[in-house]
Structure 1
Amino acid sequence: MHHHHPTDRAGRFRRIGGTLAIAALLPLLLGGCGTRQTADPDATGERLASSLSEYAQQLLDEGGDDIGETQRAAIQRVIDTGEVSRSDYEAAYDGYTTCMTDRGHSKPEFYTTSNGVKQPYARVSDGEDTSTEEGIHNDEIACTAMHISVISVLYQAQVGNPNLYSDHDEGAVDCLKRAGLVPKDYTIAQYRDDVNTMNHVDPGETPDTTLDRDDPGVQSCMVTNGHILIGDPADL
């Protein structure tokens, strides 16, 4: 669950213990969530940028020529207004979907977390030869860069990491606290322990953690802070 599953980099998603691995396509990982808890010794308070506008400018500069015109215009609106509109976010994913289907691939499927963030369903290799897999992966990279690479990161930060913490775990804990999903004294160290326990529990068993991994709010805070969800899409 933590950050990126190794198969993610290879563009392949696989079944793990009979469940589906659901992975973000983006190599860009996101930050954290809200109000700094100074009592937590693990909290650094380090930020990706001082505002969403500044972060948008930074990502636009880094994105270069691969960013399509429509996405570029949407990013400029974030720079100007300081927020991502839901309509720009939805339009970016519509553009991504069209980009993939125009290249001959089946329509990408997404589920939406409780805080409105889209995540792709796992694509389980159905015995396609390697060249086809590679072709899909290359098209995913191109369509992602063109349509959703920056807008998706900015939107996830807006809903899951408004203070733009650069440490994912700090962001996730803050998100969980703001949503009232963990006690006020819950620490980043406890969160890391909980995530580790979740990652090593046998399929079908419920991990003994403070976090309820089946809670949609918990899933949202984790997904918007750089985690891959492992689970049955029917439950997500």
Structure 2
Amino acid sequence: MGSKLQQSSMPKVIAASIISILLILSTAGCSAPWKHKEEATTDGQAKMASSLDALFDEELASDKLSAFEREVLERAKNNGKISAEDYETAHSRQSECMSRSGWKQTWTKLPNGLYRSKDITPLPDPGKETDRFMQDMSDCSQGVSKVIESLYSIQQSNPDLLSDTHEAAVSCIRKAGMGDATLTGKKLKDTLDTSDSKDIEAKLHFDPKEPTIQACLFGSGIAYQAE
């Protein structure tokens, strides 16, 4: 009886894991915030560019931008940053596209202004439904939110443009007045990778469920959702 119960519960566990991954991926529309050239710095921490403006130039040099993306980035060049209004527009267009494809998503707005996917309706079953969701997500982000959400995440959470995601998160956490002197990118990564959620607060000296911490982690590109 025990083995049957264990076997019957496995598909649910697998499905829950897949859905959790989908929720994390869907939030940023398949964006890849850290795929930029690294530049050496005097303090030994690699940066993805010398400035946010340089990142805008890097993207504007691409011939794959949509007219909407180019318009947003040209405004960002003039203003020094991507506006919250342009980010909201990109996010809204992606969400509307997903809705037309049959997926309804609800969102949590983090303290840094980023949207993180909360749930998906209907929940895609592992297999073809998951593949369809991922393809729809990719199609809906293309030319709309893929580039803009990536750059906006960097702008809001990683103004130092650190290439290492965990070092970026640590910098964000410290600027928020949280964490302590023992917190490093390596310690953060090792703890998140190897610890149960109930042990993380004791090891890192902050509550991973705290909204500002969640914003720093998510905005830095770390796929972690506190239970």
Name the TM-score, length of structure 1 as normaliser: 0.73
Amino acid at match of 2:112: N
Aligned match of 1:117: 114
SS in 2 for 1:110: strand
- Shift in Å, 1:128: 4.8
% identity of equivalent residues: 22
Larger radius of gyration between Structure 1 and Structure 2: 2
**Cα distance change, pair 96–27 in 1 and its aligned pair in 2 (3 A):** closer
Select between 187-196 and 156-165 the one with higher mean Cα deviation.
187-196
Q: CA deviation at 1:159?
A: 1.2
| 1:212 corresponds to | 207
Matched-pair contact (CA < 8 Å) for 1:53–1:81: no
What residue number does 1:161 align with? Answer: 158
Offset of 1:120 from its aligned partner? 1.9
Higher relative contact order (CA 8 A, sep 6+): 1
Q: Could you tell me how far 1:192 is from its partner in structure 2?
A: 2.6
- Distance across 2 between alignment mates of 1:127 and 1:196: 26
Structure 1 CA distance, aligned partners of 2:126 and 2:155? 39
What is the rounded CA distance, in whole Å, between the counterparts of 1:177 and 1:129 in structure 2? 39
Alignment of 1:60-75 (within 5 A): 60-62=60-62, 64-65=63-64, 67-75=65-73
- Please, which runs of 5 or more residues in structure 2 have no aligned partner? 1-13, 36-41
Is 1:137 aligned to residue 134 of structure 2?
yes
Q: Return the alpha-carbon distance in structure 1 between the equivalents of residues 47 and 209 of structure 2.
A: 29
For the aligned residues, what is the CA RMSD?
2.9
d(CA) in 2 for partners of 1:130, 1:136:
10
Residue 132 of structure 1 and its aligned partner are, at CA, apart by 4.2
- List gaps (5 residues or longer) in structure 1: 1-12, 32-37
Letter in 2 for 1:224: G
Counting matched residue pairs gives 202
Q: 1:44 to 1:145 in 2, by over 3 A?
A: farther
- Shift, 1:14, TM fit: 4.0
Q: d(CA) in 1 for partners of 2:56 and 2:109?
A: 23
Distance 1:153 1:118 in 2: 12
Letter in 2 for 1:90: E
CA 1:217/1:127 → structure 2, altered by over 3 Å: closer, same or farther? closer
Measured in 2, the distance between the counterparts of 1:76 and 1:14 equals: 42
Aligned to 1:171: 168
Deviation, 1:121, is: 2.7
Instruction: State the Cα distance separating 1:150 from its structure 2 match.
Output: 1.1
Alpha-carbon distance between aligned partners in 2 of 1:175 and 1:213, rounded to the nearest angstrom: 13
Match of 2:53 in 1: 53
Rounded to whole Å, the distance in 2 between the matches of 1:231 and 1:183 is 20
The one of 98, 101, 109 aligned to 1:100: 98
Q: What's the secondary structure of 2:216's corresponding residue? A: helix
Q: Assess if the C-alpha contact under 8 Å between 2:154 and 2:219 holds in 1.
A: yes
Q: CA deviation at 1:176?
A: 0.9
Contact 2:33 2:154 in 1 (8 A): no
